[in-house]
Chain A
Amino acid sequence: MTSNPLPANSSRLGGCTLTGAISVTSHLRDTVTVVHGPKGCSHHNVSLLHASWLDNDHAVLPSLLSTGLSEKEVIFGGEDALRKAIGSAAGQEGVRAVVVLSTCVVGTIGDDVSAVCLEDYGVPVVSIPSAGFLGGTFQDGMNNALIALAGTAEPCQKERCVNIIGEMNLEFEVEENYREVERLISLLHLPVNLRFVHNLGWEQIARLGRAELNIMRSPALVPVGEYLKNRLGTPYIASFPHGLSGTLSFIREVAALCSIDGQEALREECLRQEEMLGQFSDLRQVQVSLDRLHSGEDELLAAEELAAALDLVMGTPGTCARLPVSAAVGTAGTKRMLHRWRRAAHA
């Protein structure tokens, strides 16, 4: 057996578009996500969301409605099943909108999902293309969902606040990462307007255009940032900050884009970073290597900078402690990674 069951062609490893879209829409309150496809596709995602939400101490269950396509609908078409499911979702108490996601099966049998969604159900119905591999990758699903939902917001008067765009709702430390970014922008006295989309009410989407700045979770969301810039006139920063200097640059960039003097915030954060490094001075001159196999380029650069700041000595891999490298967000994320470094270094 090959030791690695994954194909060499990494373009195939982008994950499921439907899951990417659901990771966004399942965080909309007072809406129902209709998944147009066989029940199995919905179950896969319900199970995944359930697991990741429990990891985040979030005991609420998702709200997905499957059209439950069987062989009959596959042969004769599933548009009636979709129409019925949207009607049923729209009729539920407290539902302000319905989001419709398509699956591979629907993409293949050729149901006209958009046309069915345009009919009158009494509440807005947003169709998001997410036909598995036919639509692209997990990231494409996320981006499609964010853009489709953003399309329901109109330009409005700007206020002194920022939006957080495209949080990775399935990641284990999603709340910790948000809190760190919220802390960093609070140094500039900037509040968060919206977490788009994280535990968000449907009516709140209308406030999307108020922010002076959008902070994207990762560079993969640049198409969303561009869309929001064109539609709502909001500039964006492409990623949450990583590493020591990256965090300082982030503060500098936010300050510049919001026309704020950021010198005091930078001084405060520099001091915090120095204090943090002091807490890990026991690692000085310890011989280590970095786990390069499971790390991205930016993460490695940030880790190398951190290792230099701590005066670690880079040794030959296999002969010294191998330090885990993760995409730690901000100074707080870096500190959590340093605790893992200490454990590895002293193991």
Chain B
Amino acid sequence: MPECDNPLWPCAMTGAAACLAGFDGIAVVIHGSSGCYYYPTTLLHAPLHGTFILEDDVIFGSEDRLQEVIGSLSGTGKRIAVITTCVPALLGEDIRSMLDEHDVILVDSPGFAGDIETGYAKAISILEPRIDPGTPGVNIDGACLFDPFAAGNIQETRRLLGMASVPVATVFSSDVLDRVYHAAPYTIGTNGDFPSGVGETLGGILGLTGVRETFTRLGDAIDGADCDPVFAELEQQEERLVRACDKFLQRYDPPSTAIFAGSSYALFAAEALHTYLDAEICCIGTRNVPGESRFRTEQVSSLSRVRELIATHDPDLVIGSSFERSLSQEKAFTGIIPPLRGRVRIYPAPLAGINGTLSFMESVLNSCMDKKP
């Protein structure tokens, strides 16, 4: 792996924690140093536990310390999940056998193994979700605690499914643990970067086209689904969106735009801006491996490359995190990926669903108008 200045994306350990801590019924233990504990704790705002190993634990073995922490958590009624960080992974201890006496979920997800998506996917696979053909409705996936829009996405998806009279089955990864083992046969996605791989996917609901296509498939697949109310609202809200964008275009040129995000959100933003504002997408830098796209896209994991792309293209609008905002002080900016520092965020805004697109475009239009002379 090449050197990387100011890496922009969290490690696999954080991904595993983001997945497991989303399930009520799991007590997550970060087996590692205090530094490895504090970061996911502050990022995910979830109650994590840590072994906080010290030099002695590394030299003489970490079993006693691990047993001590797990012992303090037993009797809570929760299943314990242990995530190994870099150093325990390097020590080569047989942690599985150490924990033989406990019913523990063990996720070997050291930071050097990859990025956040790697750890998230590994944790999901180790949970071994099961489909229960008798479970009605559809699962929602892509809800990762790391994503500041996850709570809003879940609310919006529940709202749309409710309009279509379709029950919500399991939410990956924000649900009670037991439901992981009673998932429905069908799943819809809110953020394709964090798929669950559970059941048959009916598609994602990022963007209005995504909502339309996914609910069309959902109507065909689920008995009793009535998607007409969703389509009716979609049509009505899209008209409002088109009016707002046309009004903007009466006075202003379309913004040339640089987008930096996870692949799924980046492509959603590009499609929305291109469709409704005829925006020129001058570059897309994805934090992870980019998905297929009609836009020019490259993986960007360091701040220097972000800086270069912004300097080269000199866009009117930058979409990204507060890292990008710090490099684009004079430009219009809309935040869609963490970190989103320096702004108060209380309301669980979505990016997925009908309201997600409206919320995103509203933010774009306002930030573009704020920066216009």
A residues lining the B interface (CB < 8 Å): 1-2, 5-7, 9, 11-19, 37-44, 46-48, 50-51, 54-55, 59-74, 81, 84-85, 88, 104-105, 108-109, 132-134
Contact = CB atoms under 8 A, between A and B. Distances in A.
A6 B303 contact: no
Contact of B35 (A1, A16, A51): A16
Contacts of A88: 3
Nearest to A62: B6
B7 A70 contact: no
B162 to A, nearest CB: 31
B11 A39 contact: yes
B284 interface: no
B35 A71 contact: no
Interface of B: 1-14, 27, 32-36, 38-39, 41-43, 47-55, 58, 68-69, 72-73, 76, 78, 86-87, 90-91, 110-113, 115, 301, 303, 322-323, 326-327, 329, 339, 341-342
A245 B323 CA distance: 44
Contacts of B34: 12-16, 133
Given A5-B48, A47-B43, A104 B11 contact: no
B27 A1 contact: yes
Instruction: Give the dominant DSSP class at A's interface.
Output: helix
Contact of B1 (A15, A39, A42, A132): A39
Contacts of B48: 5
A43 B12 CA distance: 12
B330 to A, nearest CB: 12
Contacts of B54: 11-12, 133
A248 B342 CA distance: 37
Nearest 8 Cβ contacts at the A-B interface: A40-B11, A16-B35, A40-B111, A12-B52, A133-B33, A70-B1, A44-B39, A39-B7
Contacts of B6: 42, 46, 61-65
Most buried by A among B34, B54, B110, B329: B34
Contact of A66 (B7, B35, B341): B7
Contacts of B36: 16, 104, 132
A68 B73 contact: no
Contacts of B1: 39, 68-70, 72-73
Contacts of A67: 3
Contacts of B50: 5-7
Given A2-B72, A63-B5, A71 B47 contact: no
A7 B69 contact: yes
Contacts of B113: 71
A19 B69 contact: no
A50 B41 CA distance: 17
B66 to A, nearest CB: 12
A84 B49 CA distance: 37
Contact of B73 (A1, A15, A50): A1
Contacts of B13: 40
Given A15-B38, A51-B341, A61-B303, A105 B87 contact: yes
A74 B90 CA distance: 8
B119 to A, nearest CB: 10
A41 B12 contact: no
